[in-house]
Amino acid sequence: MNQVFKLTIFVLTILFIPHYSSAQKKADYVEKIDNLLKNRNPRDFNGVVYIQQNGKLKYAKTYGFADFDKRTPLKIKDLFSTMSIAKQFTAALILRQVEQGTIDLQVPIRKYLPDFKYAWADTVTVHQLLNNTSGLNSDNMDEPLKFKPGSAFSYSNIGYYVAGLVLEKQSGEKFEKLVAELFKECKMNGSYYPNETNSKFLVKGHTIKSDRSFVLKEKSGFDAPHYYGSHLIVTAPDLALWNECLHRGKVLKPETYKMMTDYVITAVHPIFGDEPIGYAYGLRINDKADIYEIGHTGFHPAEGFTAVNLYYPKTNTSIVIMENVGNENFDIAYFYEQKIRDIIKQSTLLR
């Protein structure tokens, strides 16, 4: 029996060592990410890192817990909040209505919401809601517009709620049904529209204080108006599937996909560096960098989640990082997301 065991080990060694050696140089990012995520400074990483290229898994690791109190280990297919990554789903669904001729992006939303009580509905367009140039406050429709619609960039979650109202009105369907159908179409079988049942599957969010103590969220504070732009329930592998579906022509016609990824306004986000990059429809477009990059982030410390979804069209590569922690110190909130992005961009994977 002992000789059989030794022979088995020998065979396994013959099978796997050459493969590992030949792949070692190409997978130059693996050890670097592994070592990075073991760090505890400036904070702990607690989440999932999932990297896929041409439909093939390149890296998938979890670190930390789904529930800090119960010490439940995270799993690759655990469910997280998208936070603002939800915006691209709403934008894609609206563009499908554009394809059907039920929504014109460039007309004031008063056309679609005639009884809307806000005077700014006479001037704000769906286009401006989707690219955050409406002038709306982030979370309050009652405040005056910050600027003339279309003249500047100001991130607005509530703008996506209003865009979602137009979507429901013109499609004749509830957002929940539209999202569920889109998830099914893209084979995102582990992801959900938030409702009382599905929300129970969500991992616990944790707000991290400056002294590294935490506040655990027993239940999400997001409600239905937030779902259009701030909260859907997804797995990291499903977000990679979504990237394949959206960016490889399975959701939109080429001309409407171009609408979604073209931009007329720029803005700065720390994940992408210090220089302004394009903001299109629920997507940040980094077309001035050495490697063309499309992505979006999600961050809500009070809900206890941080996320990044990046896509590189040239190599059909997705980097999905989802954490069920939200650090109140914004300076370190995206620390690991930035570092992982840097590692991959400097690796051979995107070349």
The whole-angstrom separation of Cα 105 and Cα 212 is 45
Look up residue 263 and give its two tokens: 């931009």
The whole-angstrom separation of Cα 309 and Cα 236 is 9
- Helix, strand, or coil (residue 276): coil
- 201-252: per-residue pLDDT in tens? 999 999 999 999 999 999 999 999 999 999 999 999 999 999 999 999 999 9
- 315-343: per-residue pLDDT in tens? 999 999 999 999 999 999 999 999 999 99
The whole-angstrom separation of Cα 43 and Cα 104 is 46
Domains of the chain, with CATH numbers?
29-346 (3.40.710.10)
Among the residue ranges 8-12, 112-116, 195-199, 308-312, the one predicted with the least confidence is 8-12
**CA distance to 82, 261, 272, 275, per residue, from 287 (Å):** 24, 10, 11, 12
Which of 188, 294, 266, 265 is CA-nearest to residue 234? 188
Which of 281, 247, 286 is CA-nearest to residue 270? 286
Pairing of strands 325-327, 205-208: parallel
Q: Give ∠ CA 174-114-178 in degrees, rounded to 5.
A: 15
Q: Which residue has the tokens 């990291």?
A: 236
Which of 310, 301, 322 is CA-nearest to residue 350? 310
